Structure 1
């Protein structure tokens, strides 16, 4: 089968949607080699991570061909890409980042869209009005015209059903994995090098993610007052105006020597930072999934996360969870892990078992099964059960026992 994929984010984004897009292309090309994958990119940029995808024999990229479409690449991606899809013999098109081309349902090409979250509807105060309107139009349209919808968590699936009234039987949950680099043990010399490079403390709690209000780093900062003074907090992520709020609180409470904010940390240094940490906290008020939790568990860290969204799906039943406004609860959870080595080891061991459901082959097979569903009940000489070999892995959070 010839599968087209929206690769705008795979090329342009180095985190978030870009990581997801590159990861899915990589595992599909690896575990389902009988398919050919065409990455449709509106604008070419330098990205070594994207270039690695082209090392697969069954992956190649496609760009706008005419001068006009190169100049108006956003219009090409949204409206005029359909001609290129037909010309390339695309049988199924996957919008990896919440969108599909306008009118794709009229081309005869089957379509799948991945919806990552609907946070802009659940927490509109975190978004500009114009952004909410644009997102709502694009996401709703994609959900309506797609043959299948992929939700990255049961939480996102419920939101799609609630806000867009999409029938449950149209939506499949396919979880995410993370870069294999987080499962590789970093050498002691390399960890020492990274510790010196970023002046990391000897004992610290780690948080990874954009430092913005929704991510709720303040909860972890406030909890610091109630844990041993030799334990620091290191937060790594994109800087936003919320940082000023954090630093004001830090100054007012004499925590300046215990709170370390690092921005623009290279991706290659992150595994070492994870492995130097004592535990990981992710107090976000709402997420579509929570990839940093998976990264932390692969790095052999116990995890504390917030209740209220999908983070229990990412962390499993043996991670600890607190209300996103419960400072004393966060401090208590931190102290439990810091003071109890046996609990720490139990959480890490249970996390390793839980991570098995996020193995690359399982996720690739689950996505390929979604593709196959698009052709159920249709006759095609080129699509058959043999074209997409899938195993019936049950990934439904609400039904699978932990």
Structure 2
């Protein structure tokens, strides 16, 4: 990929490409791959951590332009080092992850804000997290444009007067093409994963972080109320909440029905999704909520909370629950398990619905929105 001088130079904050917050890592990796595949006339520069220099040179084609920043906390890098790099490489535009910068003045600054849930739901965040994230909102006010991940988050950003409505654009996430129904995987691979994790014949699946906001506790409380002795698999990095949940499981005598896998490699996760009987995501709050779409793409019916962005993301394809009510959670899961026709309808609805969420579409829309906003600014400056 070669860039001429007539092309607009855009730097993309890709520091989470190789590692970072789980959801941020997924988003950045997929957006970057698809932006590079179709740059829409931009001259693309990837901004990365210097510790990933060797890995980046092995991963990306030699024609991809790479900028490496020193090992500092993300906030400081974006406020100080990244603007200096933008000036050095004469970038026209920079897309920042969450934390932007006040300068350089001529630089067109795009803040890609994943969510600002902490503003309305501080109880789900530590004091340190709230202090850290607060910097995001002040820096975002200096951005020329904000990209966020759902209309629900856009409304939150506007309501908190972080930016005017016209300056906030929505780009929904896509779903990795490697998620697919069970029948699309080789039997030998499926069997290997089944044996590695001792997967039950049938299970309710949860995938995501293990913390209070995800509301796994209410799902566990619902387990004895489900009209089936189905088991449950909790897939996600173990956190402080894990020990609390394990005590709850013991108290409810569910040790033989609830399995924690911890973090699993992506190749295994595809099959764990596809092997599930039902996917349940009872989260209290999400800026987007990608796991339900991943489950839909695997042909698994989805039960999700009726809160925040999830109705926007899942549409009519999901079964909705009140996340505060374990009885309601159990009822909706039982209805799916007990009615083959209803179950098949939700599988079909999910497979159809998820087709609109692709990373190529997300990447193309991201670049198109930026190009339009940049052209408007140039024309009116």
| TM-score for both structures, normalised by structure 1 | 0.86
* SS of equivalent residue, structure 1 residue 63: strand
Q: 1:72 to 1:264 in 2, by over 3 A?
A: closer
8 Å contact 1:155–1:288 — kept in the other structure?
Answer: yes
Q: 1:210 to 1:170 in 2, by over 3 A?
A: same
2:150 is the alignment partner of 1:144: no
Out of 1, 25, 29, which is 2:32 matched to?
A: 25
Counterpart in 1 of 2:171?
Answer: 174
Question: CA shift at 1:237, angstroms?
Answer: 0.5
Q: 1:47 to 1:121 in 2, by over 3 A?
A: farther
Deviation string, structure 1 residues 353-384 (Cα, Å, up to 9, x no partner):
2223212332222112211232233558xxxx
Counterpart in 2 of 1:388?
Answer: none
Out of 120, 123, 132, which is 1:122 matched to?
A: 120
Counterpart in 1 of 2:23?
Answer: 16
* SS of equivalent residue, structure 1 residue 374: helix
Counterpart Cα distance in 2 of 1:121 and 1:143: 14
Q: 1:100 to 1:236 in 2, by over 3 A?
A: same
Q: 1:248 to 1:378 in 2, by over 3 A?
A: closer
Question: CA shift at 1:338, angstroms?
Answer: 0.7
2:60 is the alignment partner of 1:54: yes
* SS of equivalent residue, structure 1 residue 235: strand
Counterpart Cα distance in 1 of 2:42 and 2:171: 19
For residues 314-393 of structure 1, the aligned pairs below 5 Å read: 314-379=313-378
Question: CA shift at 1:239, angstroms?
Answer: 1.0
8 Å contact 1:250–1:259 — kept in the other structure?
Answer: yes
Counterpart Cα distance in 1 of 2:176 and 2:58: 13
Unmatched 5+ residue regions in structure 2? 1-7
Unmatched 5+ residue regions in structure 1? 381-402
Out of 147, 153, 167, which is 2:150 matched to?
A: 153
Deviation string, structure 1 residues 33-62 (Cα, Å, up to 9, x no partner):
5322211123323896x66861384x3321
2:289 is the alignment partner of 1:284: no
| TM-score for both structures, normalised by structure 2 | 0.90
Counterpart in 2 of 1:34?
Answer: 41
2:266 is the alignment partner of 1:259: no
8 Å contact 2:206–2:279 — kept in the other structure?
Answer: yes
8 Å contact 1:175–1:358 — kept in the other structure?
Answer: yes
Counterpart Cα distance in 1 of 2:332 and 2:171: 30
8 Å contact 2:174–2:361 — kept in the other structure?
Answer: no
8 Å contact 1:186–1:271 — kept in the other structure?
Answer: no
Deviation string, structure 1 residues 332-362 (Cα, Å, up to 9, x no partner):
1101111112112211221222223212332
Question: CA shift at 1:321, angstroms?
Answer: 0.9
8 Å contact 1:304–1:319 — kept in the other structure?
Answer: yes
What is the total number of aligned residue pairs between the two structures? 370
2:161 is the alignment partner of 1:164: yes
Counterpart in 2 of 1:91?
Answer: 92
8 Å contact 2:206–2:234 — kept in the other structure?
Answer: yes
| RMSD (CA atoms) | 2.2
For residues 194-273 of structure 1, the aligned pairs below 5 Å read: 194-273=193-272
8 Å contact 1:337–1:343 — kept in the other structure?
Answer: yes
Q: 1:378 to 1:310 in 2, by over 3 A?
A: closer
* SS of equivalent residue, structure 1 residue 317: helix
Counterpart Cα distance in 2 of 1:166 and 1:379: 20
Which deviates more, 193-202 or 164-173?
164-173
Which deviates more, 208-217 or 34-43?
34-43
8 Å contact 1:219–1:325 — kept in the other structure?
Answer: yes
Counterpart Cα distance in 2 of 1:61 and 1:301: 39
* SS of equivalent residue, structure 1 residue 376: helix
Counterpart in 1 of 2:9?
Answer: 2
